[in-house]
Amino acid sequence: MTYGVTDEGFVLKGIDQLLRESRERARAVFGDDVDLRPTSPLGKVLEVVAAEDSELWKRMEALYYAQFPATATGDALDLLGEDAGLARRAGRRTGQVLFTLGNGAPNRAYVVPEGTLLLTTPTDADAPAQSFATEEPLVLTAAAPTAEVAVRAVESGGDAVPAAIVNRVHPEHAEQYLADWAGATLTLSNPAPFADTPAAEDDVSYRARLIALPHALWTTDSVRQAALSVEDVVDARVTDELGGIDVSQVFFGGFDFGERSFSAERRVGEPYFAEVAVARRGPRPWLTTTVGTETVEGVFDRVTAAVERVRPIGVHIRVVEADHIEVAVRAEIVLDPRFTTEAVQAGIRKRLAHDIGRLKLGDDVLYSRVMCVLVDEPGVTDVRNLHLRRCPPAFGRFGFGAVPYQLGIVEAAVGESLVMGLTEMAQFTRDSALSDIQVVPR
């Protein structure tokens, strides 16, 4: 058997093989009657040497696989990214912010939506404000006027965040979503400093971006990857009004426009327009928001700038936001009496959010996929009358542009999947009231 670097990769020589070869060499030198038992002095020496050689082989295996983005980890992956010109993203600071309701009306709930944009008041007057977004919705009442919520920075890295500095809602967001509070007030502050060393981008996410890095400039992939390089963009699709870009071409929009580099004929010098639909998920708003000197750059401007660097000459790219379609379920769950209703419902919603959150643009929500999630939850013995729902985007989804809404809720029949368009992406919200999961005892 061949060990080391082979056509199929690196074949590791284990300690058993190393010890076997060491004993064979010892017999060849000292004779077949040499004492190589584990209790003998020579046997012990051979075992120690084989253990050291085994660690050396493991190191050689690690060095070999550190040369490839698909298998490299840690510092080795950083070096490969440095060679390709793609650095690992810095982490985002996270922490807790305490919200306090004032002058709340009795018997009324005040909702602070998920994605509410918060700003700091810097101790240095010349320093720019840092922006954070809430990671879950918050409900305040006159009976329970205070609550803490986790927040995450919009920008990576950034300065340290001491206590009591995150203390205001972005004015444009407050005007858009908190204007109907009718005399109620909202104060907020972070009771403790945020973590000083936010965790950097993990190996899995960084490796995926590095592998997807385009190796040719004028391709549809290069435009798509330019959009995906923007933080908070989870998927992008390049399309055009004239029937679709001809992806069979080796290049995207070569300079000889008369040779039909794209799918439709056009005259020399005539501009060509394509469209990039962008799906996003994260705290950053779609459009840039500016109030005075405080600016939070939006996903749209970042994607536009990234695409501008790689678009072919004469090809004009329009950046549009994909349609984020909220998905919900209606079902009756038969519960094992050993489990609690609250735990099973929470588990189902968590698993659905994770599973549907992995879908990309145009991916259908399969009935069988949702059914598997439900029946695999511990405590579920049967699932009845499962219907998938296709709903408008959640009201609290933060963005200052126009939000497309469908009219009403579309509920599919039992057994039917939800079909998504090319520029639609399904999303599931754990705390959404649109899902109706009824639990009944067995």
The terminus-to-terminus CA distance of the chain in angstroms comes to: 58
Given pLDDT bands bounded at 50, 70 and 90, which one contains residue 86?
confident
**Which of 297, 321, 345 is a domain's end point?**
321
pTM, full prediction:
0.64
Closest of 417, 332, 415, 416 to residue 380, by C-alpha = 332
Q: Taking the alpha carbons of 226, 227, 231, 235 in that order, is the dihedral positive or negative?
A: negative
The token pair that represents 211 in the structure block = 């592998």
Where do we find the tokens 């920075």? Answer: 153
pLDDT of residue 366: 92
Residue 32 is inside which H or E element, if any? Answer: none
Neighbours of 153 (CB within 10 A): 22
pLDDT digits (tens, 9 = 90+) for 401-418: 333 444 467 888 899 999
The token pair that represents 231 in the structure block = 């933080």
pLDDT digits (tens, 9 = 90+) for 213-269: 776 666 677 888 888 888 888 888 887 654 444 444 444 444 444 444 444 454 555
Same domain, 431 and 364: yes
pLDDT digits (tens, 9 = 90+) for 285-307: 888 887 666 678 889 999 999 98
pLDDT of residue 315: 78
Query: What 3-state class would DSSP assign to 238?
Result: strand
Q: What is the number of structural domains in the chain?
A: 4
Same domain, 374 and 426: yes
Same domain, 317 and 330: no
Residue range(s) defining the domain that contains residue 8: 4-84
Same domain, 70 and 110: no
Given pLDDT bands bounded at 50, 70 and 90, which one contains residue 439?
confident
Residue 47 has pLDDT above 80, yes or no: yes
CA-only gyration radius of the chain, Å: 29
Same domain, 173 and 108: yes
Q: Which 8-state DSSP code applies to residue 418?
A: B
pLDDT of residue 290: 76
Residue type for 369, please?
R
Same domain, 346 and 311: no
The residue with greater pLDDT, 1 or 395, is 1
pLDDT digits (tens, 9 = 90+) for 15-32: 999 999 999 999 998 888
Give percent above pLDDT 90 in the chain: 22
Given pLDDT bands bounded at 50, 70 and 90, which one contains residue 329?
very high
User: Region 151-173: what's the mean pLDDT?
Assistant: 86
Residue 313 has pLDDT above 80, yes or no: no
Closest of 104, 106, 197 to residue 147, by C-alpha = 104
pLDDT digits (tens, 9 = 90+) for 166-194: 989 988 888 887 888 888 889 999 999 98
Phi-psi region of 9 (alpha: psi -120 to 50; beta: other; left: phi over 0): left
Taking each continuous run of H as one helix and of E as one strand, the counts in the chain are 9, 20
User: Region 312-326: what's the mean pLDDT?
Assistant: 84
Q: Is residue 12 part of a domain?
A: yes
CB–CB of 161/130 below 8 Å? yes
Same domain, 28 and 38: yes
User: Region 370-384: what's the mean pLDDT?
Assistant: 91
Same domain, 355 and 374: yes
Q: Is residue 208 part of a domain?
A: no
Same domain, 342 and 437: yes
Q: Is residue 297 part of a domain?
A: yes
Same domain, 360 and 335: yes
**Which of 27, 53, 84 is a domain's end point?**
84
Q: Is residue 202 part of a domain?
A: no
Closest of 341, 339, 303, 295 to residue 321, by C-alpha = 303
pLDDT of residue 269: 56
pLDDT of residue 397: 37
Same domain, 317 and 327: no
Residue 205 has pLDDT above 50, yes or no: yes
Q: Is residue 200 part of a domain?
A: no
Query: Which stretches does DSSP call E strand in 201-336?
Result: 233-240, 272-280, 289-291, 294-296, 315-321, 323-335
- Cα(70)–Cα(210) distance, integer angstroms: 9
Where do we find the tokens 């399309």? Answer: 239
Query: CA separation (Å) from 147 to 116, 162, 229?
Result: 15, 20, 35
Q: Is residue 195 part of a domain?
A: no
Q: Is residue 205 part of a domain?
A: no
Residue type for 387, please?
H
Same domain, 278 and 297: yes
pLDDT of residue 245: 47
**Which of 189, 224, 249 is a domain's end point?**
189
pLDDT of residue 242: 46
Q: Is residue 288 part of a domain?
A: yes
- Cα(365)–Cα(363) distance, integer angstroms: 7
Given pLDDT bands bounded at 50, 70 and 90, which one contains residue 370?
very high
Given pLDDT bands bounded at 50, 70 and 90, which one contains residue 148?
very high
